[in-house]
Structure 1
Amino acid sequence: MTQTAANPNHDLARQLRQSRLSGGLQHFIGGQWSDSHGGETFETHSPVDNAVLTTVASGDATDIDRAARAAHDAFQMWREVSGQERRKILHRVADLIEARAQEIAVLESIDTGQAIRFMKSAATRGAENFRFFADRAPSAADGQSLPAPGFLNYTLRQPIGPVGVITPWNTPFMLSTWKIAPALAAGCTVVHKPAEWSPVTATLLAEILDEAGLPKGVHNLVHGFGESAGKALTEHPLIKAVAFVGETTTGSHIMRQGADTLKRVHFELGGKNPVVVFDDADLERALDAVVFMIYSLNGERCTSSSRVLIQDGIYDEFTAYIAERAQNIRVGDPLDPEIEIGPLVHPRHFEKVMGYFDQATKEGATIAAGGERVGQEGNFVSPTLFTGARNDMRIAQEEIFGPVLTAIPFADEADALALANDVQYGLAGYLWTNDLTRAHRFAQALEAGMVWVNSENVRHLPTPFGGVKNSGIGRDGGDYSFDFYMETKNIAISLGTHKTAKLGVGQPQPHKDRADQRLAE
């Protein structure tokens, strides 16, 4: 493991541990910081050495109920706040995020183990998310004019109500802003339950939202475990929708838990995303993208390209290049700006990832790079490449969610497409080829919610983000987010020219005079 010299990030980390973490983390409910109703707490640990970082209030159904009621009460006011005023508040949030970006990045690194070089951009992305949806707040309610004979139909959108947001432990600050910003812009109120493995920056986000002038109760934060706080949130009758990012099995539990109250759900779940490299591709650029999309962010990202499908003729050469690059990746202290991979988030996840190394060799794959622990403490894993793999192996089918890449050869386009689609997931796909016709044909046939051609994952915020199959339900981004957080209402205005069928007027009487007949009509 790379050893690091003293750097300013260590000094800031020490200051933040003393000033922010020494007293523990509380809930934020109805505009007030509070301990759990029953006083329960849990500990969160540093992935670098698994030492205790701080204690965290552990919420239960009572705490969730308080937060849901605060969100419900605040919704009656927040829904009436103009889009222009919501825009101002959310822009202030973005300003404060930018002002505290270094603090956010350091806290995120020490809490999750993510390299500081990526967490700086994650904080910036959080500010971008708030600015993007802030600018759309004034038009969030806009609909369409749909005239018909005798009627003017028009649509409008209205906020659905209090929503639950359950966020994951990988890049938690950025992903929290990705969910919370559109909910607030739409006029919804929020109860946020962050992952128990990385709760620190959720507290900072709550502070920022409060400082920006968000009215009390519009945003509420309850820490806790999925089986207690999470379950209570997904079952609470005042919560109208749940947005969740995380593991597919958990998404199934949330759907069941919300069934009795007919909750709307939005899920961004797991992935086993293919990157397909044809022999006519720009191989140098493809190599950069393949290495970046699996080994950056410790491999702990839903859109990572964790299966690389390589055409037969270039398989050996291309995998040799990947192995060389993987062996040169710098692993170590996540606060060191030179480090590329830090420790995995939690010992349980570390053990899960390590377990795939023996599994790979049992199934007949070769460990061409990595496949071992790095150092004697903490959750450090070497960047790993499996070669000689088949698509029916567990390493090719299951989401490992670490810096682990499985390389599979293919013969032709039909073979590549069959392999790419032969998994339960369908979040993202990546395609490298200089054949324009094939690029379109393959991208359209790939079972994935998002496809990048000759590129790594480069997000454009107005575009839809989400998956198919076991990778999720619904889409984020642009107006797609408002489709989830808002109800579309149609209003039909009669122009007075249509005729309504008559019932209950009896048989017509021929001897009635014209006045009576007109009255009857």
Structure 2
Amino acid sequence: MTQSNDAAYNVPQQYIDGIWREGTATTATRIVNPATEAVLGELSHASSSDLDEAILAAKAGFALWRKVTPYERGRLIERAVALMLERREHIARLITLEQGKPLVQACAEVTVAADMIKWYGEQARRIYGRIVPSQFAGAQIFVQKEPVGPCALFSPWNMPVLLAGRKLGGALAAGCSCVIKPAEETPAGVAAMVACFVEAGVPAGVINLVFGQPADVSSRLLASPVIRKVSFTGSVAVGKLLARQGADNLKQVTLELGGHAPVIVMGDADIDSAVAQTAAAKFRNAGQVCLSPTRFFVESSVYEQFVDAFGKYASQLRVGNGLDPETQMGPLASDRRLLGVQSLVDDAVQQGSTIVSGGTRIGDRGFFYAPTVLCDVPASARATCEEAFGPIALITPVADVDEAISAANASELGLASYAFTDSAAAQARLASEIEAGVLAINNIAVSVAEAPFGGVKDSGYGYESGEEGLEGYLHTKTIHRQA
């Protein structure tokens, strides 16, 4: 591995057919610590021949792995999870160095990833078939579940270990092999997780790890008849491109794309609880989470109380290097994100929005941005329709639940939504009428191992986690047998 200028960081290598090795392409990605702007190292990319070797390795690995009993698959996954938890602090430090989030949040990411992978490992033994009574005498109908085949797994930079691990756990539990392509900005945490599976005894070829530009890697993988399933978490634009490529090659595709989560707060809600929960969620990972609450629609009777409390919370957050134990919010992940967030805030202010808190970059080194609260944001502002993916909260008053639901649904994205109300009638309406894949009422827990997570509208289709997530890596075979 290539040594970086941080003693705790080594630029990772690819893992193909049981061998750790450098990519052989002529291109590379410079990995930058977003808190210091120091270069951690150069990540070599996979060449076309590297990708072809990974595909062939996954083909051979699938032939082997699908024959491993579900109980043994589960045991190997359990061993890998134990190693992940043993190495949690090390993996978390890699995440913080590459991506910037506070170390405590990076540790939590590894823990949640391990929990999701463990759940999948336990579910491997619960992949059931069934017997269907036949209309013909002496005939039997068997329905069984089988692994879909080698998978291409694409994970993003914002939650690198969690989102790669969620995909990897489902694929392995189902009996699939895979080629994992993590974000080139944050490869080391994913490589460290893969190493846990390797050391746990997962055979060569079952897991393959490659790095490179998304377009180059995806076009090569999706063109191959070997790859039967694609799972992608990332932007809407890239998701639509992969959907087209998948359709051209008849791949099964799961897409978890952008979010612009609304939060509805009614006058009968516990305002202190609503502020505490949603503000913590809003500024976690500097708002760089697809399910981050962003568009707040607050009933007029409690609007000023909510704005004051939310703004106070934001203004008191300690922003700094994620390795500092006092830090509550780290930097944005890149200069591109910093410019994007500032552009959204500037546009909103130019159109009449009021800055309650933040609204500016912090310092001149590192990609730090102040936790920002805006009110009176017009519908024409870009921030109301574009995913902010940053520490920006938009708070708007509404007259009643009808206006709140209409405003919440006025987005092309529909991933997560949140609501706070004690009214059973309002809760029932929200559950029925909110256009989202996931809705949390009086809490913010929307992504757990045991329940499906996915979006509607431009937020994608298919599911991660839960039984539905596991089903995405299986196909159904029906067997008609005559005695």
**TM-score, scaled relative to structure 1:** 0.89
Q: Does 1:59 align with 2:43?
A: no
- The aligned amino acid for 1:45 is V
Q: Does 1:205 align with 2:199?
A: no
Q: Is the 8 A contact 1:293 1:457 kept in 2?
A: no
- The aligned amino acid for 1:147 is P
CA drift of 1:146 comes to 2.3
Following the alignment from structure 2 to structure 1, what is the Cα–Cα distance between the partners of residues 240 and 213?
17
CA drift of 1:327 comes to 0.3
Q: Does 1:411 align with 2:399?
A: yes
Following the alignment from structure 2 to structure 1, what is the Cα–Cα distance between the partners of residues 433 and 482?
45
- The aligned amino acid for 1:144 is R
Q: Deviations over 1:289-331 (max 9, x none)?
A: 2201211111010111111110112112211111111100110
CA drift of 1:15 comes to 11
Counterparts in 2 of 1:92-491, with a 5 A limit? 92-140=79-127, 142-150=128-136, 151-491=139-479
Report the CA distance shift for 1:95/1:75 in structure 2 as closer, same or farther (over 3 A).
Answer: same
What runs of 5+ residues in structure 1 fail to find an aligned partner? 1-13, 496-521
Q: Is the 8 A contact 1:197 1:346 kept in 2?
A: no
CA drift of 1:120 comes to 1.0
- The aligned amino acid for 2:280 is F
Following the alignment from structure 1 to structure 2, what is the Cα–Cα distance between the partners of residues 280 and 390?
26
What runs of 5+ residues in structure 2 fail to find an aligned partner? none
Q: Is the 8 A contact 1:97 1:126 kept in 2?
A: no
- The aligned amino acid for 1:420 is A
Aligned residues: CA RMSD: 1.6
- Equivalent position SS for 1:55: strand
Q: Deviations over 1:63-90 (max 9, x none)?
A: 2111011001111111101001101100
Following the alignment from structure 1 to structure 2, what is the Cα–Cα distance between the partners of residues 453 and 358?
32
CA drift of 1:54 comes to 1.6
Determine the structure 2 residue equivalent to 1:502: none
- Equivalent position SS for 2:248: coil
Q: Deviations over 1:318-359 (max 9, x none)?
A: 111111111001100101222111011111111111111211
- Equivalent position SS for 2:418: strand
CA drift of 1:112 comes to 0.2
Q: Does 1:47 align with 2:34?
A: yes
Q: Deviations over 1:29-63 (max 9, x none)?
A: 00001222335432111001211112212113222
- Equivalent position SS for 2:431: helix
- Equivalent position SS for 1:258: helix
CA drift of 1:153 comes to 2.5
Q: Between the two proteins, what is the percent identity of the paired residues?
A: 33
Q: Deviations over 1:111-155 (max 9, x none)?
A: 100111111111111211221111111222x12232243343331
- The aligned amino acid for 2:173 is A
CA drift of 1:160 comes to 0.8
Q: Is the 8 A contact 2:154 2:182 kept in 1?
A: yes
Q: Is the 8 A contact 1:290 1:308 kept in 2?
A: no
Report the CA distance shift for 1:437/1:153 in structure 2 as closer, same or farther (over 3 A).
Answer: farther
- The aligned amino acid for 2:7 is Q
**TM-score, scaled relative to structure 2:** 0.96
Deviates more, 1:322-331 or 1:204-213: 204-213
Following the alignment from structure 2 to structure 1, what is the Cα–Cα distance between the partners of residues 381 and 123?
45
Q: Does 1:38 align with 2:28?
A: no
Determine the structure 2 residue equivalent to 1:499: none
Q: Is the 8 A contact 1:59 1:228 kept in 2?
A: no
Deviates more, 1:473-482 or 1:453-462: 453-462
- The aligned amino acid for 2:132 is L
Determine the structure 2 residue equivalent to 1:7: none
- The aligned amino acid for 2:404 is A
Following the alignment from structure 2 to structure 1, what is the Cα–Cα distance between the partners of residues 73 and 5?
31
Q: Is the 8 A contact 2:416 2:446 kept in 1?
A: no
Following the alignment from structure 2 to structure 1, what is the Cα–Cα distance between the partners of residues 79 and 5?
23
Following the alignment from structure 1 to structure 2, what is the Cα–Cα distance between the partners of residues 450 and 42?
35
- Equivalent position SS for 1:124: helix
Following the alignment from structure 1 to structure 2, what is the Cα–Cα distance between the partners of residues 15 and 100?
20
Following the alignment from structure 1 to structure 2, what is the Cα–Cα distance between the partners of residues 295 and 310?
19
Q: Deviations over 1:408-434 (max 9, x none)?
A: 111111111110101000001111000
Deviates more, 1:269-278 or 1:481-490: 481-490
Following the alignment from structure 2 to structure 1, what is the Cα–Cα distance between the partners of residues 269 and 8?
52
Following the alignment from structure 1 to structure 2, what is the Cα–Cα distance between the partners of residues 38 and 389?
46
Q: Does 1:18 align with 2:4?
A: no
Q: Is the 8 A contact 2:5 2:41 kept in 1?
A: no
Determine the structure 2 residue equivalent to 1:501: none
- The aligned amino acid for 1:146 is V
CA drift of 1:366 comes to 1.0
Following the alignment from structure 1 to structure 2, what is the Cα–Cα distance between the partners of residues 15 and 241?
35
CA drift of 1:478 comes to 2.2
Report the CA distance shift for 1:445/1:381 in structure 2 as closer, same or farther (over 3 A).
Answer: same
- Equivalent position SS for 2:326: coil
CA drift of 1:162 comes to 0.5
